[in-house]
Amino acid sequence: MIIALYIAAMVWVGVQGARKTRTLTDFVVGGRRAGPWVSAFAYGTTYFSAVLFIGYAGSSGFRFGLWAVLVGLSNALIGALLAWKLLAPKTRDVTRRLKIKTMPQMFEKRYQSPRMKTFAALLIFIFMVPYSASVYSGLSYLCEIA
């Protein structure tokens, strides 16, 4: 029953999204209409992934005790706060002003170099492979102990 409700909710969200998506900007950056809560949740799901919750908190917390948990919490709180206070306002301003949709596109326009866009995209692609592997490893560990 729960799985059926979940699938129904996902179909509903997909239909609503399809109705509101008309351009590439609508698809990639939500038509620039996403409010602070949507942005916060999108950032949170990226920053606080399975790597942080399962890998860091699980193994380090178990091995090193409470101090490791405090290090993880301070990383989450201070890292997120600094990102929101220092990086987010300027990044949002620049991306709106220059109509940028992706980070590689931002590097291209900032440094006036198409090569910089290609380099940034390659870096993201290369480092996304081990990152994704670690997330799937964490998820498989979670499924194993559940």
3-state secondary structure the chain: CHHHHHHHHHHHHHHHHHHHCCCHHHHHHHHHCCCHHHHHHHHHHHHCCHHHHHHHHHHHHHHHCHHHHHHHHHHHHHHHHHHHHHHHHHHHHHHHHHCCCCHHHHHHHHHCCHHHHHHHHHHHHHHHHHHHHHHHHHHHHHHHHC
pLDDT confidence of residue 53 = 63
Same domain, residue pair 78 and 122: yes
Position 61 scores a pLDDT of 64
- Residues 81, 10, single domain; the answer is no
40 & 9 share domain: no
Range of the domain at 80: 34-145
User: Domain check: are 122 and 75 in the same one?
Assistant: yes
More confident: 101 or 68: 101
* Tens-place pLDDT, residues 3-13: 999 999 999 99
77 and 27 within one domain: no
More confident residue, 145 or 124: 124
Across the range 7-21, mean pLDDT stands at 92
> With 70 as the cut, is the pLDDT of residue 51 above it?
no
Q: What is the pLDDT of residue 60?
A: 66
| Same domain? 91 vs 53 | yes
Same domain, 128 and 81: yes
Q: What is the mean pLDDT of residues 2-23?
A: 92
Asked if residue 101 and residue 128 are part of one domain, the reply reads yes
Name the domain count of the chain. Answer: 2
Report the percentage of the chain scoring pLDDT > 70.
89
Instruction: pLDDT band for 146, please (50, 70, 90 cuts).
Output: low
Is the whole model's pTM more than 0.85, yes or no?
no
Residues 55, 23 share a domain = no
- pLDDT average, residue stretch 82-87: 82
Same domain, 4 and 52: no
Residue with tokens 């490893």: 137
pLDDT tens per residue, range 94-144: 888 888 888 899 899 989 999 999 999 999 999 989 888 877 877 787 677
